[in-house]
Structure 1
C-alpha cells in the first residue's frame, strides 16, 4: 500500500497503533470577525501542475468511443451508444457480470512540472446499474510511455461493484500506491512529463441508465524531499463556521469499514465540509444506519468512501468523488504550496482538508501521534495559528482546536519525517482536498483559478 520510495503518507490511517490519545479540551473562542479579502498570491509557484477537464469544450477536445457530452450548466460525459460489452469479475465479491461500456480519452496534457507523483480525481454521478473506471498513462522524460494504470474503479454506492483501487501495478520506473502514481527512484532523474486520462463508463446491458462524469483530471508534482519547510508570515485572521464531527464517537461502529470510527478521519472531515456547503444525505441515504446512532451521516460517509482493496476510508480521490455526489459540489485532490495558499482559500470562505503525519511531540496540543491523519482547516487566529476541526477528538464539542502555525505547516508540507523508532517515513507534501459549489462567488473563482482548480 505504501513504499519507502514513495513520498506518500499512509492513506487516511487512524491513529498509529503506538499512539495514545488523552482527553482534549476545547480551544478558546475565535476572535476573527468581519469578512477580509483573500491575501495576495505568493510570488513563487509551488512545483505542482493541475489539469481538470470539466467544460463542454474540454469534453469535445477528447476522443470518445460511445460517449457524448450532455450539455447544460454543468456539462458532462454520458453513454450514448455503447462501444462494446465486457465481463467484470469483482475481486471482492467473486461475482462476474456483463457490462456495456463507452470510453473517453483526454488529450495529452503536458505538465508544467516534470513530475515524480500524479494523483487523479473525478466528480461523477453513478445511478444504480452503473460505474466508472479511471485510468492514467504518462510519458517519461526519455520519451517512453507507461502502461494504462487503473487509478480507481468507482461507484457512489456499493450495490453493483465494490469501489476499489488496484494493487500490483507498475513498470520499470513507477508504481501505483493505492491512489498515487509515483516514480520509484526520484534521484534517478526520471520524471513524468505528460499524461492522458481514460474514462470508461459502464452500465447494465440493455439499460438506458448512464454514469455522468462532470470533472476529471489530475495533480502532478515534484515536491523536493525535505524534513522542514520555510516558515510563512501570517496574513489573515478569520474563522469559518464549519460543522464539528468527531470520528471517535463512532469507535466500534461498522467495523467492516476500516475497523470502525476510530479510523474515519478522512470521511469525517469530508462530511464536515459537505455540510458547511449546505448539503446532507437524505433519509433514504441513511436508512441502512442502525437507529439511534449519533451523526449517522458520518457512518454513511465512511461506507461511501471505503476502498475495498486498500481496506480503508482514506483513499484521497474516493473522498473527493463522494463529496461531489452532492448537489452541485466540485471536489479535487491537490497539493498546496504553503499556509499562505490556505489563508487565501479561507479568506474566500473555502475550508481546506489537509493530510499530515507526526509524532505527538511535533504538534503541541494534539495529545496523540499519527502515521497519517486528515483534519479540516477552518481559519487562523490573529497570531496566525491554525484553527482546525480535528476529528480525532473525544466528542464533537472538542473538535475545534488551535495548533501552532509553525508546527502545523511543517507536519503538513514536509515529505520526510522520523517515526518513533527513528526510521525515515514519508509525509504528504501538502496534499489537500478542496470542495466548492458549482457557482462560486467571484472572489472564490479568482482564488480557485489562481491555484489551478478551475
Structure 2
C-alpha cells in the first residue's frame, strides 16, 4: 500500500460544516450519569482478534522486568517507573525553538515481546506524568521475519506541558525496509511478505540536572497489526441498542481560535473528541489550567486539549499517541491506541459503558447525513440505535447542539475499517483500518475490565 510523506491526509480536519442535529438534548457529566438502553440483547463478549496484538506494561512486576539503567519501579495504587540515579547527561537542541539545554537521563527497556501477529504496522502509546522540568522519549526496535533487526526508531518526544521542550514526532526515519510515519511504524512493502515479528520499547526519562524531579510512566505499550489491504468489509450484525450520555463539543465553534495549533478549531477533531470522553469520565481541566485561554471563548477546555495534544513536527493535533497521553494526564485515567475488528467490538465496549474515538476518512456521498467529506476525521462513538446504526458525537458539527448524529451501520463500518479508498480525484489512498482511542479509569468495573479484555486490551 502506498504511503504518503506524512499522515496528514489521514488525520486532517473535517471539510465543511456537518448536517442537521439529532434530537437528544445535550447532557454533560460523568459516566455514572448512565445511559439509555433498550431491550435488544447485549452483544456477546468477543475473543481478542487475530489481526491485532496489544502488549502494555503497567504493573509493578512489569516495571521490575526489562533492562533498567538508572530507573526503578515504584509500587502503589498505580505502579510506574521513575528516575532513580541518572546514568548520564546529554544536550538536546529543540528543533522547534532552537534552544539547547542539558538534561540528566535514565532508561527503561522492555523485554522482547514476540507479537502474536507478525505485523506490518506498530503504534506505541504511553501514560505518564511529566512535572515541569522533565520529559520523555519513546523508541521502538524490532526483529523482522527474516531474522534481521531494525534500528531504534523514535516514536515520540513528549511532555505534558510545552515550556521545556516542544512535543514532537520525528520525520525521516527509515532503514530501507520500514519507516515511521508520524506515530506509526510501517513496513514499506507489505506485499513482499516482510513482517515485524518482535519488538522492544525503550523509555528515556529526562530531567534538569540536579533537580531531583522525575517523570513517572504508568503504562507503556504498543499495538501491532497486520490488516489486509481492503476497500470494504462485510457489515456486522447489530447486537446492541444503547446510548451513553457523553458531553458534546463542536470543533467548528472554535474556527479561527489559536491558529498556531493547526490553524484553529476547524482542524481540532481529535482533541475535541478526546475532551468529550475525558469529561464523560468526570475529569476536566482546572480553572488554573484554563487561565491562558481567552475568556471570550466558549468551551475553553477544547482549546486546552488542542494545545496539549499538538505535535510541533506534524503541525497538528491528530497525533494518535499524543491524544492518548493527554487523556492520561487526568487523574487515574488509562488511555491506549489500538485497532478493533468490527462494530461488534464497539458494541461490547458500549455495553460496558465505555465510549470510543474512531478514525475514518470518506467522500461526502459515502456517509449519509454527514454533509461533508474528509481526508481524515475523529468522532466519538457513544451508542447504537435499535436498528444497529451508529450514534456518534461528531465534532465537525456547526454547534454543540448539532453534535449528536446517527450514521448508517454499513457505511460507517466500511469507512472506518478499510485500508484503501478512492479520494475525490479517483486516486487510491490509505484508510485507517479500524484505529481507535480507548480511555477508561484506572479501576474499571468488572464488566468494563471484561469488555476491554474482549477487545485485546489489558
**Structure 2-normalised TM-score?**
0.95
Q: 2:454 matched to 1:450?
A: yes
Report the Cα offset of residue 36 of structure 1: 7.9
Q: Give the superposition deviation at 1:33.
A: 2.6
State the 1:208 CA deviation.
1.1
The residue that corresponds to 2:136 in the other structure is 132
Q: Is the 8 A contact 1:32 1:381 kept in 2?
A: no
Q: Aligned in 2, Cα 1:438/1:419: closer, same or farther, shift over 3 Å?
A: same
Q: Offset at 1:225?
A: 0.3
Task: Identify the residue that residue 12 of structure 1 maps to in structure 2.
Answer: 11
Q: Once the 2 structures are TM-superposed, how far is the Cα of residue 70 of structure 1 from its aligned partner?
A: 1.2
Question: Alignment partner of 1:249: what SS?
Answer: helix
Match of 1:25 in 2: 20
**Distance in 2 (alpha carbons) for counterparts of 1:81 and 1:4:** 42
Give yes or no for contact 1:101–1:200 (8 Å, CA) kept in 2.
yes
Structure 2 unaligned residues grouped into runs of 5+ = 26-34
Query: Paired residue for 1:402?
Result: 406
Alignment correspondent of 2:223: 219
Report the Cα offset of residue 261 of structure 1: 0.3
CA shift, 1:376, in A, is: 0.1
Match among 290, 298, 301 for residue 302 of structure 2: 298
Is the CA contact (8 Å cut-off) linking 1:6 and 1:426 kept in structure 2?
no
Q: Does 1:209 align with 2:213?
A: yes
| Deviation digits for residues 271-311 of structure 1 (CA, Å, limit 9, x no counterpart) | 00000000000111101101121000000000000000000
Q: CA deviation at 1:37?
A: 7.7
Equivalent residue number for residue 28 of structure 2: none
Aligned position for 2:29: none
- Give the distance between the partners of 2:180 and 2:351, measured in 1 at CA: 35
Is 1:422 aligned to 2:422, yes or no?
Answer: no
Give the one of 235, 245, 257 matched to 2:239.
235
1:341 aligned to which of 332, 342, 345: 345
Match of 1:327 among 321, 324, 331: 331
Is 2:269 the partner of 1:265? yes
> Which structure 1 segments of 5+ residues have no match?
none
Distance (whole Å) between structure 1 residues aligned to residue 128 and residue 238 of structure 2: 37
Q: For residues 450 and 47 of structure 2, what CA distance do their matches in structure 1 show?
A: 16
Q: Does 1:194 align with 2:198?
A: yes
CA offsets 1:243-265 (integer angstroms, 9 cap, x no match): 00000000000000000000000
Measure, in 2, the Cα distance between the counterparts of 1:388 and 1:184: 34
User: 1:89 is matched with which residue?
Assistant: 93
- Tell me the distance in 2 between the aligned counterparts of 1:127 and 1:357: 36
Q: Tell me, in whole angstroms, the C-alpha distance in 2 between the residues paired with 1:74 and 1:99.
A: 27
SS at match of 2:9: coil
Shift of 1:130: 0.2
Q: Is the 8 A contact 1:105 1:196 kept in 2?
A: yes
1:407 and 1:257 map into 2 onto residues whose CA distance is 31
Q: Secondary structure at the match of 2:411?
A: helix
Kindly tell me the number of residue pairs found equivalent between the two proteins: 449
SS of residue paired to 1:274: helix
Superposed counterparts of 1:38-77, under 5 Å: 38-42=42-46, 45-77=49-81
Cα shift at 1:41:
3.0
Q: Distance in 1 between matches of 2:340 and 2:117?
A: 14
CA root-mean-square deviation: 1.8
Q: List per-residue Cα deviations over 1:188-235 (Å, max 9, x = no partner).
A: 010000000000000000001110000000000000000010110000
Q: Determine whether 1:123 maps to 2:119.
A: no
* DSSP 3-state at the match of 1:10: helix
Partner residue of 2:31? none
- Distance in 2 between the 1:314 and 1:203 partners? 27
> In 1, are the aligned partners of 2:6 and 2:181 still within 8 Å (CA)?
no
Q: Deviations over 1:350-387 (max 9, x none)?
A: 00000000000000000000000000000000000000
| Contact 1:320/1:433 (<8 A) preserved | yes
Alignment partner of 1:162: what SS? coil
Distance (Å, rounded) in 2 between the aligned partners of 1:152 and 1:362: 34
CA spacing shift, 1:35–1:197, aligned 2, 3 Å: farther
Distance across 1 between alignment mates of 2:207 and 2:49:
42
SS of the aligned residue for 2:436 comes to strand
Q: Distance in 2 between matches of 1:341 and 1:66?
A: 40
